[in-house]
Amino acid sequence: MTLQIPTDHPRVMVRPADLPRLRMMAQNTHRAEMGALLSLAANGGKDADPKSDCAHDAWRLAFLYLLTQDKAHASACATAIETVLDRDVSGGYFEAQRRIRALGCAYDWCHDAFSPMLLERMAHGAIAHGHALYANHEMFPDNYVAGHEVNMVPHLLEACIAIGDEHFGARALLADVIDRFDKMLACYRYFLEHECFQQSYSYTAAYIPEIATCFHLLQAATGVDWYAANPWFRNLTTWWTYALRSDDTFIRYGDYFCGMPVFGNAAYFRPFAAAAQRYRDPLAQWWVNRFTISGSEPEMFFFHDRENPVVPKKPESLPRTKLFTQMGIAIARDWGDGTLAAFKCSPIYLHNHCHRDQNQITIFHKGDQAIDSGCYDGYETPHWYNYYIRTIAHNTIVVHDPAEQMVSRGKTFANDGGQRFINEPVWSPRTLEHLESEAYRDGEIAAYQEGDGWSYVCGDASNCYSASKLVRFLRHVVFVLDWPHAGAVSLVVVDDVEVSRDGLTPRWLLHTVDEPTVAGSRISVRQKGGRLTAHVLAPQAARIQTIGGPGKEFLVGDQNFPLNNEKDWFSGAKGPQVPGSWRVEVSPAAGHGARVRFVTLLVPADVDAPAEPAPTIEAVGEGFVVRQGGLTVALQAKGGAAPTGGTRIIQVALAGGA
């Protein structure tokens, strides 16, 4: 795309024709934001914190001047801008993007109020910070799938569109940024067309909001409706909605960050508001109505439609089960205060902020019951690389081969017995071609089915492990809605595992916050208002071991990898992370063969609900039947006889010739 920059100002996010409407909004629908901006201007552009670079204040004050045309407000913005310009040029992640946005937006919005000399200093300052991003590899060559580049692109666009051809260097920088955005958009579309994204739910907030900003920017500059041209963008609403727990945090998978509450975070607000505004999405509007945002007034004007909002639609109108194919995530949930159970077997290897967790299960029921353990205590810390992102930290299967080496990016890490790293052609896919190549094939959803009050998913994670130790790992999960009581979701889990040679033993993992209780083949744990009971139905005479407690919370082999800290690296607050302290390992008895089948029944319930009856398992033909009270779940080869007995019968044909 070649961008024809408008000749007049403003041209960043807004055009001159938009100003009357914005000023009218300031007097009615957005009076609270206008009041906050006027209060900010009262300090004359000086921040009370002497360490502040005043970039955030400069951005807000520049927008205030755009609304008021009051020279005093332009003067306050200029004072803040001088503080920005007094700082050394930085290629740092936070400093550079914050300053580029301030310099670019103020250059455009205060263009008629600033002197030519100040405008020139601002232009070259913004370009210098942009070049520093490249030198610091925050703008890494040929990297379009995941990385910090996405957070820099909107602010570089703001600055380059603002400066245009008025000062040397902006046009060349703009050409590269637009080329990058085109290639990034193709990668994001690859996932969002299938209603999912290539990052954890919290990390999606580092990417999706930037797309909304870019669409607004480019529409103001080109006149093209970028939302209409990219209708897949609205699918973000489904992705986040199914993952939102009743405690207003998200399902844990991948790196979970940000201690700021979801509904106070402008990064979450911006894309939902854009979807509600531009697609008239009623579910997005339900989200928008729950937010309370401060300190981000320009975005509230640009994205929050208070003049003609769409009628909201609650999530309860959605089905309770769903598969997100491109990320291999199956969810079964209650839309109230019941269970949210999730299964993950992703088809694409995504190292950056994603974990080696294929065929993982998590269960939330009024508390964290089966957890994604560990904590995002920083990128590539010892805890992160040796435990948090590794298979051992997740509710799936490990097979320890003492001869195996776990190598990532040229370094050897702890042998957790889990899934392998990919290092070729590069350690994480960077382009659309990488996403589509066989080099990064990982897991596979072998089957998915929905029925009346249940869903079934089969994940094949055989390819995720070294072939020298594991031949086959299929996990079958039947989600049973409203069992053992309304709102709960129980899981019948069948794991078919085949190791490559004698002497290797698969271990089934279940992670919990508090110490679980083991009584025979029953594992039980309580957390907050919920409980989880796990029944090990096969193999017979299984060995069940609990591991954890002080000094052993994050044990890999004989070594513990403690947290660097429990505070969120972004906000500095402890945040919603739940590292956990315990796990249960289930393994077959000595003398097992190469093929092992684990069958478990996982039953979450309210902590004060009546105890469930003991379950049974019965071999029937080429499959088997699990019963608990009035529930009968039959998992059989295709064409198996219908089971009898029980007030509720679920029959599922097992995939993969299990």
Report residue 377: phi and psi, to 5°. -90, 10
Residue listed under structure tokens 């000062």:
167
Neighbours of 378 (CB within 10 A): 17
Convert the pLDDT of each residue in 392-450 to its tens digit.
999 999 999 999 999 999 999 999 999 999 999 999 999 999 999 999 999 999 999 99
Which is nearest to 508 in space by CA: 389, 374, 417, 403? 417
pLDDT attached to residue 4: 86
- Give one DSSP letter per residue of 398-436, joined into a string: EE--TT--EEETTEEE---S-PPP--SS-SS--SHHHHH
Which is nearest to 627 in space by CA: 462, 474, 499, 480? 480
State the sign of the Cα–Cα–Cα–Cα dihedral 388, 151, 259, 309. negative
* Structural contact between residues 268 and 201, judged by C-beta atoms closer than 8 angstroms: no
pLDDT attached to residue 644: 77
* Helix (H) or strand (E) segment spanning residue 152: helix 149-163
In sequence order, what are the residues at sequence separation of 6 or more whose Cβ sits closer than 8 angstroms to the Cβ of residue 179?
none
CA distances from 466 to 103, 114, 164, 434, 528 (A): 51, 63, 53, 21, 38
* Helix (H) or strand (E) segment spanning residue 333: strand 329-333
Number of alpha carbons in the 13 Å side-chain half-sphere of residue 339? 33
Neighbours of 446 (CB within 10 A): 19
Calpha distance 65→73 (Å, rounded) = 5
The DSSP letter of residue 252 is -
Planar angle of CA 463, 468, 469, nearest 5 degrees:
80
Ranges in the chain, pLDDT < 50: none
Q: Is the peptide bond before 282 cis (omega within 30 degrees of 0)?
A: no
Which is nearest to 290 in space by CA: 315, 308, 307, 322? 315
Instruction: Kindly provide the residue ranges of all beta strands, DSSP E only, lying in 51-148, ordered along the sequence.
Output: none
**Structure tokens given for 379:** 């990128």
* Structural contact between residues 473 and 594, judged by C-beta atoms closer than 8 angstroms: no
The one-letter code for the residue type at 219 is Q
**Residue 476: helix, strand or coil by DSSP?**
strand
Helices (H), 164-253: 170-192, 201-204, 208-222, 226-229, 236-243
User: What's the gap between Cα 489 and its chain centre?
Assistant: 23
In the chain, the domains with their CATH numbers are 9-176 (1.50.10.100), 321-653 (2.70.98.70)
Convert the pLDDT of each residue in 1-10 to its tens digit.
668 899 999 9
Buried b (16+ CB within 10 A) or exposed e, 72-81: ebbbbbbbbb
**Structure tokens given for 246:** 């009743």
Residue listed under structure tokens 């999960």:
477
pLDDT attached to residue 134: 97
Calpha distance 363→604 (Å, rounded) = 8
CA distances from 477 to 262, 341, 489, 596 (A): 30, 11, 12, 17
β-pairing verdict for 517-519 and 530-538: unpaired
Report residue 599: phi and psi, to 5°. -125, 120
**Structure tokens given for 580:** 């956990």
In sequence order, what are the residues at sequence separation of 6 or more whose Cβ sits closer than 8 angstroms to the Cβ of residue 518?
544, 546, 584
Calpha distance 367→358 (Å, rounded) = 23
Planar angle of CA 177, 178, 184, nearest 5 degrees:
90
pLDDT attached to residue 565: 78
Number of alpha carbons in the 13 Å side-chain half-sphere of residue 491? 34
Convert the pLDDT of each residue in 496-536 to its tens digit.
999 999 999 999 999 999 999 999 999 999 999 999 999 99
Calpha distance 568→581 (Å, rounded) = 18
Q: Which residues pair with 226 in a beta bridge?
A: none
